[in-house]
Amino acid sequence: MKKVLILEDEVNIRSFVVINLKRAGYDAIEAATGQEALDMIQKHPDIGVAILDIMLPDIDGFEVCRRIRATNKQMGVIMLTARTQEMDKVTGLMTGADDYVTKPFSPAELTARIDALFRRIGGDSAAGSELLAQGPFVMNTRNHTLEKHGNRIRLTQVEYSIMKLFMQNPGRALSREDILGAVWGKDYDGELKIVDVNIRRLRIKIEDDTSNPSYITTVWGFGYKWGA
Ligand code: CA
């Protein structure tokens, strides 16, 4: 059974999520503090997706995410945010998260996001080995690896999916809606802003000069274009 970790200190919300995860066919693992979540992840290395609340009694959800990402790039991470939290701040701090859900959320919304993350993780593993080489970049779509000048660049699942979309469409302007649909899925009902958050992060990893990007260029009022 696919394992999902829910880190939430408010017991009512946590129980609500657990019930709905079980109903959706997931194995739910609970944690009430950041430290407990990190312990659970050590104990259950096969957790596929982690849902992290931000405001917690010990370390906050962003820090939990950073610690997960220090050793694990594969796990899907969804942040739970409160509507009162300023979104610019939240997205800026989402250093390694794949997605976020704003409270209050419906069970259907949350499970749709989790399902989408699992689909991406399970993704195109059946596809044969294929190398995409453009400029200094080489992508291996079998191993899900990206190299620049022969050096491995570590990407999250979402960042990898965006890079793959770019490298399969060199020179083509892709709208933010195109990117959202291709990477997050057609059923995704989140905000377009998540695209920009991930592009910003991707640029830090792959551009020579982040303030003057040359590989992922912005097409103003539309989206982004890849050229290497
Ligand atoms: Ca909380």
CA 165 to chain centre: 15
Specify the pLDDT at position 124: 41
Instruction: Compute the Cα dihedral for 194, 112, 49, 80 and give only its sign.
Output: positive
CA of 33 to the centre of ligand 1 (A): 9
Specify the pLDDT at position 45: 87
CA of 78 to the centre of ligand 1 (A): 14
CA of 168 to the centre of ligand 1 (A): 41
The structure tokens listed for 98 are: 């794949």
CA of 51 to the centre of ligand 1 (A): 12
The span from the CA of 6 to the CA of 40, in Å, is: 10
* Backbone phi, psi, residue 34, to 5°: -60, -45
Specify the pLDDT at position 126: 38
CA of 130 to the centre of ligand 1 (A): 44
Write the DSSP assignment of 28-70 as a string of letters: EEEESSHHHHHHHHHH-TTEEEEEEES--SSS-HHHHHHHHHH
CA of 60 to the centre of ligand 1 (A): 9
CA of 88 to the centre of ligand 1 (A): 19
CA of 12 to the centre of ligand 1 (A): 11
Specify the pLDDT at position 203: 97
CA of 113 to the centre of ligand 1 (A): 20
Specify the pLDDT at position 144: 86
- Residue ranges and CATH numbers for the domains of the chain are 3-121 (3.40.50.2300), 131-226 (1.10.10.10)
* Region of 10 on the Ramachandran plot (φ > 0 left; ψ -120 to 50 alpha; else beta): beta
CA of 196 to the centre of ligand 1 (A): 26
CA of 215 to the centre of ligand 1 (A): 39
The span from the CA of 9 to the CA of 52, in Å, is: 10
CA of 54 to the centre of ligand 1 (A): 6
- Strand 137-140, strand 131-134: pairing: antiparallel
* Region of 75 on the Ramachandran plot (φ > 0 left; ψ -120 to 50 alpha; else beta): beta
The span from the CA of 170 to the CA of 149, in Å, is: 18
CB-side neighbour CA atoms (13 Å) of 158:
29
The span from the CA of 4 to the CA of 30, in Å, is: 9
CA of 74 to the centre of ligand 1 (A): 25
The structure tokens listed for 60 are: 């906050």
The span from the CA of 30 to the CA of 50, in Å, is: 10
Residue stretches of the chain with pLDDT short of 50: 123-129
The span from the CA of 36 to the CA of 72, in Å, is: 17
The span from the CA of 150 to the CA of 129, in Å, is: 18
CA of 14 to the centre of ligand 1 (A): 10
CA of 7 to the centre of ligand 1 (A): 9
Residues 78, 35: contact at Cβ < 8 Å? Answer: no
CA of 61 to the centre of ligand 1 (A): 9
CA of 221 to the centre of ligand 1 (A): 36
